[in-house]
A and B are shown apart, each in its own frame.
Chain A
Amino acid sequence: MVESPHHDHNAHTGDIHEVASVTSSLTTFAVLAMLAILALVVGFSNLGEIKVIISLTVAATQSLVLSLFFMDLRRADPLIWLVASSGVFWVGLMFLFIITDYLTRHIAVL
C-alpha cells in the first residue's frame, strides 16, 4: 500500500489525529478471524464444562482486540479509557450481585 498522499490539512490547529494504517487494520482483521475460528473449534470440541469458559475468554480477547485497534481506543485520551472501562465495570457489578443471589439463595441460614 503506497504511503497516503499529503493530506490537505487546512491550517487548522492541532487536530493531529493519526488513523490506523490499512496494513495494521488488515492484521487486526486477521487476528480477529483467527480468534473466531478458535472460538468455533472450541465450540465444536466436546471439552464439557470448561468449554463455556474458554469460548467466553476467546470472545473477551476478540472484543479487546477490536476495541483497542478498530475502535482506536489505543490512541484515545484517558477519558475515553475511563468511560469504556466504567461501562464494563458496571456490568461486572450487576453480574456479581445478581449471580451471587442465584448461587447463594439456598444457603438458608448462617
Chain B
Amino acid sequence: MNKTIPELDYTPQMVPYPEPTPAEDKNRVHYLNVSDTVWSWLFTLDHKRIGILYLVSVSIFFVFGGIAAALVRTNLLTPTGAILELDQYNKAFTAHGTIMLFLFLIPVIPGVLGNFFVPMMIGAKDMAFPKLNLLSWYVYMAGAMFFVWQLFVGGLDTGWTLYPPYTSQYSHTNVLYAGLGIFITGFSSILTAVNIIATVHKMRCPGMTWSRLPLFVWAMYATSLIQLLGTPVLAVTVLMLATERLFGIGIFDPTLEGDPLLFQHLFWFYSHPAVYIMILPGFGVISEVIPCFSRKNIFGYHAIAWASVGIAVVGFLVWGHHMYIAGQGFYLGMVFSTLTMLVAVPSAIKVFNWVATMYRGSIHFAPPMSFAIAFLFLFTIGGLTGLHLGVLGTDIHLHDTYFVVAHFHFVMVGGMLVAWLAGLHYYWPKMTGRMYNTFWANVAAIVVCVGFFLTFAPQFILGYNGMPRRYPHYPEEFQILNILSTAGASIQAIGFTMPAIYLLGSLVFGRPAGNNPWHATGLEWQVPSPPPPHNFEQIPIVYYPPYEYSIPNGLKHVVIHSLNGNGVHSSDITPKHQEVTSGS
C-alpha cells in the first residue's frame, strides 16, 4: 500500500531543548512552582494544574469505591453474609457501583491525562476554554459531594442502574441525592467533552494534521463525542425519575399503564456508550505505551484511529443487549444483537494491531509496558466474554448473573484501570519531574494482574452456574468459589496500594527524570519535565507522523522549530518528500 509520507532525513538539524543541568533545573520555573498559594491552585486556568486537581480528587474517590468493594467481597465469604445485613449489603454494592463509575472510571483519564496532555500533544498552549475547564472540575466536585453526602445520610440501595418502579416508589433510600449527583457529574463530563473537541479542532499547531495526531488524542476525541451525545439523555432520564419519585406519580409508573422498560431504554442509551467512554481513553494510553516500549511504529495507525471513532458511533446502537429478557420485542432484540456483534469487531482490531506492533520490535519491560501487557491479557478475555452476553440465545441464562459481573470487571478493571495505571506510570515523570522505583512498579503490575485474575476468573464459573448478581446470601455450593474470589480481592487491594506508596515516595526521594526518560516521540516529551507554565516557548511545527521509533540511531530528536524563525537554530527545514512503500 503506497502512502506518500515524507521520507525523513534524520540528520539532526535541530537539537530540542537542551537537557537541563541539575543546578539549572533547581530554579527553573515550571507549572508546579510558578506559584504555590492555595488560591493559585484552586483558581488556576492552567490545564496542567487542573489535571493534577482531577488526579487528587479522582484517587480519593477510588479509595471510597475500593472500601465499598472490600465490604462487598468480605460479606460474600459465607453463604449467609459474613458482616453485613441485607440492606447494608445492598447499600455497599450500590455505593461501589455508583462511586466507581461516575466518580472514577468516567472522569479519570479524560480529566487527568486528557486535560494535562491533549493540549501538549497537539502543540497548543492551553485548552480552548480554560475557564470552562476549571468549571468542569468544580461541577465534578459539586456532583461528587452529593454522592458522598448520600453515603452518610443512609446510602442508596437501588444499584447503579436505578430501575423503576423500585427506585420511584418502593425504595426508601435517597435516590434524589444520587440522581442529582449523577446529573451534575454528567454536566462536568459534557464540559470536558466540549473543551477537548474544540481544542482538537481549533488549536492544533501547524503541521499537526489529523493523520499526525497521536492516537491518544484520537481516543480522547472519540470519547468526547460519546460524552457529548450521550450524557444529556441520562440527565433527562434521571430528571424524569426524580419527578416521578417526588410527585408519587409518573411516567414509568405501571399503575398508570406506564412502561418501566422506557426508563431502561433511555437509561441504557447513555449507559452503554458510557462503558465506551470508560474504555476508549484506556485504548488511547495503550496506543501510546506499546509503540514506545517496543521501539517500533504503531501497526495500522489509521485502523486504530478509525476503530476508535467506529466504536464511538456504533456504541450508540447496541444498548438493547441489556434488555433482551426484560420484555423488549424479539424483533428489536435481533437488531441489537447484530449491532452488538458489529461493535465487538473494532475492539478486536485494536488488540490485533497492538500485538502486531510488538512483532519484531525491541521490547523494554519498563513498568508502563508491563501494565500494558497485563491490559492486553485481561482485556482480551474481558472483551471476548462479552460475546456470550451479546448473543440473544446465551444471554437468557447468563443475564444478571456473576458472568456479567466478571465480564464487565474484566473490561473495566482489567482493561480501564490497568490502562490508567499504565498511563500514570508512563506520564508520572513528565507530570512531576521525578522518576519512581521501576522494580517495585513491575512487581505492582504482576500483583495487580494476578490478584485481579484470581478474583474474577472464578466468577465466570459462578455466573454459568447461575449465581445471581447482588445477592448477599447465596446457596452453599457457591461458597468455595466466592472465598477464592475474596482472596483474589485482597491481593488486588495490595496491588493497588503499592503504586500509591512508590509514586508518592518518588515525589520526595525520586531522582529528576529529565525531559524524555522513555525516549518517546510526541510533542509532550520535547519540553522539560515538569513542563513550563505555557508548555511551548514558541509554537512547534510538526513534520513527522507521531510514532517514528523505527529509525537508524535511536530517536533523540523530533524537530522543534519556531514560527518566526528565532528558535534554537534558524535554519529552515523542509523534509524531503519521497515515495515510500511501507513494508508489509
Please determine if A and B sit in direct contact within the complex, based on CB atoms under 8 angstroms apart: yes
List residues of chain A with CB under 8 Å of any chain B CB: 79, 86-87, 90, 93-94, 97-98, 100-101, 104-110
Hey, what's the 0/1 contact readout for B301-331 against A, CB within 8 Å counting as 1? 0000000000000001101100000011111
**Is B360 engaged at the interface, CB distance under 8 Å to the other chain?**
no
Give the distance to chain B from A36, nearest Cβ to Cβ, in Å: 26
Bound-complex Cα distance A93 to B270 (A): 13
A97 near B330 (CB under 8 angstroms)? no
Give the distance to chain A from B583, nearest Cβ to Cβ, in Å: 36
Residues of B within 8 A of A79 (CB): 201
Given A86-B229, A94-B233, A94-B269, also A101-B328 (CB < 8 A): yes
Q: Can you list 21 A-B pairs with a CB-CB distance of less than 8 A?
A: A79-B201, A86-B229, A90-B229, A94-B269, A97-B265, A97-B319, A97-B320, A98-B262, A98-B265, A100-B329, A100-B331, A100-B332, A101-B261, A101-B265, A104-B329, A105-B332, A107-B329, A107-B330, A107-B331, A108-B330, A109-B330
A106 near B229 (CB under 8 angstroms)? no
**Is B335 engaged at the interface, CB distance under 8 Å to the other chain?**
yes
Bound-complex Cα distance A18 to B398 (A): 60
Residues of B within 8 A of A86 (CB): 229
- Specify which of A97, A107, A109 is in contact with B317 (CB 8 Å cutoff): A97
**CB-CB nearest in chain A for B339:** A97
A101 near B332 (CB under 8 angstroms)? yes
A97 near B229 (CB under 8 angstroms)? no
Top 10 nearest A-B pairs (CB, nearest first) are A105-B329, A104-B331, A104-B329, A101-B332, A90-B229, A98-B265, A101-B329, A100-B332, A107-B331, A94-B269
Question: Which residues B230-266 have CB closer than 8 A to chain A?
Answer: 233, 261-262, 265-266
Give the distance to chain B from A57, nearest Cβ to Cβ, in Å: 24
A97 near B332 (CB under 8 angstroms)? yes
Bound-complex Cα distance A104 to B320 (A): 14
Give the distance to chain B from A107, nearest Cβ to Cβ, in Å: 6
A-B contact count (CB 8 A): 44
Give the distance to chain A from B322, nearest Cβ to Cβ, in Å: 13
Majority-rule SS of A interface residues: helix
Residues of B within 8 A of A109 (CB): 330
- Specify which of A87, A98, A100, A105 is in contact with B266 (CB 8 Å cutoff): A98
**CB-CB nearest in chain B for A96:** B317
Residues of A within 8 A of B269 (CB): 94, 98
**CB-CB nearest in chain B for A109:** B330
Hey, what's the 0/1 contact readout for B162-193 against A, CB within 8 Å counting as 1? 00000000000000000000000000000000
Bound-complex Cα distance A106 to B259 (A): 14
Hey, what's the 0/1 contact readout for B344-377 against A, CB within 8 Å counting as 1? 0000000000000000000000000000000000
Residues of B within 8 A of A98 (CB): 262, 265-266, 269
Bound-complex Cα distance A108 to B233 (A): 29
Residues of A within 8 A of B233 (CB): 94
Give the distance to chain A from B190, nearest Cβ to Cβ, in Å: 13
Hey, what's the 0/1 contact readout for B431-446 against A, CB within 8 Å counting as 1? 0000000000000000
Give the distance to chain B from A14, nearest Cβ to Cβ, in Å: 15
Give the distance to chain B from A75, nearest Cβ to Cβ, in Å: 18
Give the distance to chain A from B496, nearest Cβ to Cβ, in Å: 37
**CB-CB nearest in chain B for A90:** B229
A110 near B330 (CB under 8 angstroms)? yes
Bound-complex Cα distance A28 to B208 (A): 41
Residues of B within 8 A of A90 (CB): 229, 316
- Specify which of A93, A104, A108 is in contact with B332 (CB 8 Å cutoff): A104
Question: Which residues B263-283 have CB closer than 8 A to chain A?
Answer: 265-266, 269
Bound-complex Cα distance A110 to B392 (A): 14
Bound-complex Cα distance A105 to B326 (A): 12
Residues of B within 8 A of A108 (CB): 330
**CB-CB nearest in chain A for B225:** A86
Bound-complex Cα distance A109 to B319 (A): 21
Give the distance to chain B from A106, nearest Cβ to Cβ, in Å: 7
Give the distance to chain A from B388, nearest Cβ to Cβ, in Å: 22
A93 near B265 (CB under 8 angstroms)? no
Bound-complex Cα distance A100 to B329 (A): 9
Give the distance to chain A from B470, nearest Cβ to Cβ, in Å: 26
Residues of B within 8 A of A106 (CB): 329
Bound-complex Cα distance A106 to B327 (A): 10
Bound-complex Cα distance A79 to B210 (A): 14
Give the distance to chain A from B505, nearest Cβ to Cβ, in Å: 46
Give the distance to chain A from B159, nearest Cβ to Cβ, in Å: 22
Bound-complex Cα distance A79 to B320 (A): 31
Residues of A within 8 A of B229 (CB): 86-87, 90
Residues of B within 8 A of A94 (CB): 233, 269
Bound-complex Cα distance A97 to B335 (A): 9
- Specify which of A87, A100, A105 is in contact with B335 (CB 8 Å cutoff): A100
**CB-CB nearest in chain A for B197:** A83
Residues of B within 8 A of A87 (CB): 229
Give the distance to chain B from A87, nearest Cβ to Cβ, in Å: 8
Give the distance to chain A from B410, nearest Cβ to Cβ, in Å: 27
**CB-CB nearest in chain B for A79:** B201
Residues of A within 8 A of B335 (CB): 97, 100
A93 near B316 (CB under 8 angstroms)? yes
Bound-complex Cα distance A30 to B196 (A): 39
Residues of B within 8 A of A104 (CB): 329, 331-332
Residues of B within 8 A of A97 (CB): 265, 317, 319-320, 332, 335-336
Give the distance to chain B from A41, nearest Cβ to Cβ, in Å: 31
Give the distance to chain A from B270, nearest Cβ to Cβ, in Å: 10
Residues of A within 8 A of B332 (CB): 97, 100-101, 104-105
Question: Which residues B190-234 have CB closer than 8 A to chain A?
Answer: 201, 229, 233
Bound-complex Cα distance A107 to B333 (A): 12
Residues of B within 8 A of A100 (CB): 329, 331-332, 335
Q: Which of A87, A101, A106 has the most CB of B within 10 A?
A: A101
Bound-complex Cα distance A90 to B331 (A): 21
**CB-CB nearest in chain A for B202:** A79
Bound-complex Cα distance A23 to B336 (A): 50
